[in-house]
């Protein structure tokens, strides 16, 4: 929603040169069609929150991420260059875990990264687990927490 409002603001002053969209496959088909229109013609024409937006943006570059490209409409998917990033190695995943858990001691963040990597979890899982820890939790507490999360069907792994 904010995207369209922000673009409407730019039409009066200066337009954005770059638009970044994260997890584009989660956007509604309607929004995907509106984005397709922007990519094809530079036109933005939507009604949102009882406001009509109808303006042209020229020369904008659109970058987007998607976890599942197959969920995009075919015409929209064809407008993007697709780059498929390889999965993290174990060492890379652990380093990312350390970076996304800056308040934790390095050894604890590394342990979380290692344990989450074993169950093919994601960086979001690392963050979630780090937020559930208490100040004095140690390695066994982390393993117990991860086992409990897996046992009761959370998204880890």
**DSSP secondary structure string for all residues of 108-157:** HHHHHHHHHHHTT--HHHHHHHHHH--TT--HHHHHHHHHHHHHTT-S--
Q: Residue 118: count other Cβ atoms within 10 Å of its Cβ.
A: 11
Closest listed residue to residue 80, CA positions, set 146, 36, 118: 36
pLDDT of residue 2: 43
Burial class (CB in 10 A: 0-12, 13-18, 19+), 18: exposed
Both ends of the chain: CA-CA distance in Å?
Answer: 32
pTM reported for the whole predicted model = 0.64
Judge whether 85 lies within some domain.
no
| Tens-binned pLDDT, residue by residue, of the chain (157 aa) | 345 545 555 555 667 788 899 999 999 888 888 888 888 888 777 777 777 777 777 788 899 999 899 999 999 999 999 999 899 999 999 999 999 999 999 999 999 999 999 988 899 999 999 999 887 888 888 888 888 887 786 555 5
Residues in the chain: 157
The tally of domains found in the chain comes to 2
Same domain, 10 and 66: yes
pLDDT given at position 1: 39
- Judge if 64 and 100 occupy the same domain: no
Give the residue from 77, 105, 127 where a domain finishes: 77
65 and 97 in a single domain? The answer is no
Tell me, what's the pLDDT at 13? Answer: 60
User: Residue 14 is encoded by which pair of tokens?
Assistant: 């200066």
Q: Dig out the tokens for 86 from the structure.
A: 């390889």
pLDDT computed for residue 8 by the predictor: 52
Give CA separation, 140 vs 28, 101, 108, 118, 148, in Å. 42, 18, 11, 16, 12
Domain boundary among 18, 42, 77: 77
The candidate with the shortest Cα–Cα distance to 82, out of 98, 69, 100, is 69
Give the pLDDT score at 3: 52
Predicted pLDDT at 108: 92
Owning domain of residue 45: 2-77
């Amino acid at each position: 929603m904010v995207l369209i409002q922000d673009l409407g603001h730019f039409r009066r002053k200066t337009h954005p040169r770059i638009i970044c969209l994260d997890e584009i496959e989660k956007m509604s088909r309607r929004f995907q069609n509106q984005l397709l229109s922007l990519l094809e013609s530079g036109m933005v024409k939507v009604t949102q929150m009882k406001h009509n937006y109808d303006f042209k943006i020229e020369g904008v570059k659109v970058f987007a991420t998607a976890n599942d490209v197959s969920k995009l409409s075919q015409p929209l998917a064809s407008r993007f260059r697709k780059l498929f990033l390889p999965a993290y190695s174990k060492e890379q995943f652990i380093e990312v875990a350390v970076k996304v858990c800056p308040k934790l001691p390095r050894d604890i963040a590394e342990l979380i990264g290692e344990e989450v990597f074993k169950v093919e979890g994601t960086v979001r899982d690392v963050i979630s687990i780090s937020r559930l820890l208490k100040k004095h939790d140690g390695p066994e507490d982390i393993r117990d927490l991860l086992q409990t999360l897996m046992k009761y069907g959370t998204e880890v792994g």
